[in-house]
Amino acid sequence: MLELTSITKRFPNGTLALKGVDLTVEPRTVHGIVGANGAGKSTLFKIVAGALDPTTGEIRWKGEPVDWSSPAAPLAAGISTIYQHIPLVPTLSVLENVFLNDYRGLFARGRLLKRYREVIDRVQYDLDPDLRVSELSIGQRQMVAIMHALAHGAELVIMDEPTASLAQAERELVFDTVRRLRDRDDVTFIYCSHFLDEVLSLTDTITVLRDGLVVADEPTAQLTEDRLVDAMVGKNLASLESLRQHEGREDALPLLEVQGLDSPGRISDVSFTVHGGEIVGLAGLLGSGRSEILHAIFGSDRAARGRVVLQGRELGRSARAAVRSGIALVPEERMRQGLVPDWEIWRNTSLPDLTALLSAHVVPSRAKEVERAERAIRDLRIVARSVDAPVSSLSGGNAQKVVFAKWLYGDPAIFLLDEPTVGVDVETKVEILELIRRFAREGKGAIVVSSEFEEILAVAHRVLVISRGRIVAERRAIETSEEELLALASGLGAKEDVA
């Protein structure tokens, strides 16, 4: 049906996202694709969907080589992609969304309704065509996206993380629909998910990607959870492993106590303690609520309820109060949440701690600010033209170091680190992990969120596994393994140890 041969993709900034991927999708199957963050899944889907051009390699669709230069071409050929954040128009009705981009001339409601009935028959799921999409649940939106694909004559539907935020019943609905369409309607699916239990139960074939390469490609029946996890994890960052630290810190005083933190629809009943000099890892998959826990602690989630006690004092529920009491947050999306992109390094690094850099109480001292930025460039080995370089011109790793530098010199008590090494090269990654360890040696605390579990194991003393907004397990880093964490976070066999 779809054949990819030695697809590579090199981005303009030099990143090699795909290093020669071969993939064959058989007709009338559900083909699962799994891989850790950064394995190249999204890039692969974008290439198939025509949103990106491959650097080298060949795509064959129904045996014919194709050259798709725009997303319209694969759509016309019968390939439809449903992205994670489904691009429906929330202000339009279900009917209008299903036939979006399909009004020939006038919006002929009667004719479209007839076609809508046909689509409903195919998916066996009835939905009022006049409801507005904004009124639908996430699962219903998924169904609308599937119907949209079918209405446009899709023979291959690519689903990228379709169930990241679905409730159990809605998942079953989507799965049943996928199976029915495969069996009765000759539709082929490519299905990508972080939840390995889902992939194992739904798919016929599974391809595992790791670091831009296919490391396994087998019928699902021959695969086990363990083999899948092994293939995904690999042992590619041995350098991190060697840094793994083992000293426990259980005697230290509680630094941060989180009690009964709850935020509707995001996290529920999260309680834990971080001790002085301790690094706690939050291991969870995308959408598990791990970042949301950090934002709830930091007070930037206004809906969150619960107690956060830092060094014996209960915190007010605002980011401002958190910063003042000594909590630092390195957010996940550094350009959107961590930096003012147009600003120079020195103006970014002084932002949270401006009051300490004033002369005459109101005027920020440029000399002190520049000095601090220069110190950060030295301390963190930031590669930049000068402190005057705008942060938008820095590479990912260097921009991330600037975000760290914002907090480094204000002497915070605890660091909340959300994916601190995402999009950062290996060398910088090691440096950042060493920096986090330094915080702990200085008696500070740190909470590290990462979807790369080997990284959590390399840096954390204790690991809390997060799944669907809850802490589902607690492990000491030396007593667990990446495989176990991945299994727990993927919802496999996690029932015995609920923290």
Q: How far is it, in rounded angstroms, from Cα 189 to Cα 212?
A: 21
Task: For helices 482-489 and 225-233, give the axis angle rounded to 10 degrees.
Answer: 120
Cα–Cα distances (Å) from 439 to 114, 178, 215, 263, 460, in that order, read 64, 48, 37, 29, 12
Span of 162-170, 242-250, 391-399, 451-459 interacting with other proteins by CB under 8 A: 391-399
The one among 394, 408, 436, 486 contacting other proteins by CB under 8 A: 394
- In the bound state with other proteins, the residue whose beta carbon lies nearer, of 61 and 346, is 346
Binding-residue total with other proteins (CB under 8 A): 49
Span of 52-60, 142-150, 160-168, 374-382 interacting with other proteins by CB under 8 A: 374-382
Task: Please report how close the Cβ of residue 55 comes to other proteins at its closest, in angstroms.
Answer: 18
Report if residue 329 touches other proteins, rule: CB under 8 A.
Answer: yes
The one among 51, 215, 216, 351 contacting other proteins by CB under 8 A: 351
Report if residue 167 touches other proteins, rule: CB under 8 A.
Answer: no
Cα–Cα distances (Å) from 173 to 12, 118, 129, 167, 177, in that order, read 41, 19, 18, 10, 6
Within residues 275-304, the interface with other proteins by CB under 8 A covers 298, 300
The one among 10, 132, 343, 396 contacting other proteins by CB under 8 A: 343
- In the bound state with other proteins, the residue whose beta carbon lies nearer, of 154 and 422, is 422
Are 290 and 282 a contacting pair, CB within 8 Å?
Answer: yes
Task: Please report how close the Cβ of residue 328 comes to other proteins at its closest, in angstroms.
Answer: 9
- In the bound state with other proteins, the residue whose beta carbon lies nearer, of 4 and 261, is 261
Q: How far is it, in rounded angstroms, from Cα 494 to Cα 425?
A: 32
Core vs surface per residue 187-225: b (16+ CB within 10 A) or e:
bbbbbbbbbbebbbebbbbbbbbbbbbbbbbeebeebeb
Task: Please report how close the Cβ of residue 271 comes to other proteins at its closest, in angstroms.
Answer: 24
The one among 135, 303, 393, 493 contacting other proteins by CB under 8 A: 393
H/E stretch holding 283 = strand 279-284
Span of 38-46, 198-206, 256-264, 322-330 interacting with other proteins by CB under 8 A: 322-330
Alpha helices, DSSP H only, in 152-279? 168-185, 196-202, 225-233, 238-242
Report if residue 310 touches other proteins, rule: CB under 8 A.
Answer: no
* For the chain, the helix, strand and coil percentages under 3-state DSSP, each to the nearest 5: 40, 25, 35
Report if residue 491 touches other proteins, rule: CB under 8 A.
Answer: no
- In the bound state with other proteins, the residue whose beta carbon lies nearer, of 36 and 261, is 261
- Helices first, then strands: H and E counts in the chain: 17, 22
The first and second tokens of residue 65, run together, are: 């080589």
The first and second tokens of residue 332, run together, are: 């996940």
Task: Please report how close the Cβ of residue 383 comes to other proteins at its closest, in angstroms.
Answer: 5
Footprint of other proteins on this chain (CB under 8 A)?
A: 298, 300, 319-320, 322-324, 329, 331, 336-344, 347, 351-352, 354-355, 358-360, 362-367, 370, 374, 377-378, 381-386, 388-390, 393-395, 406
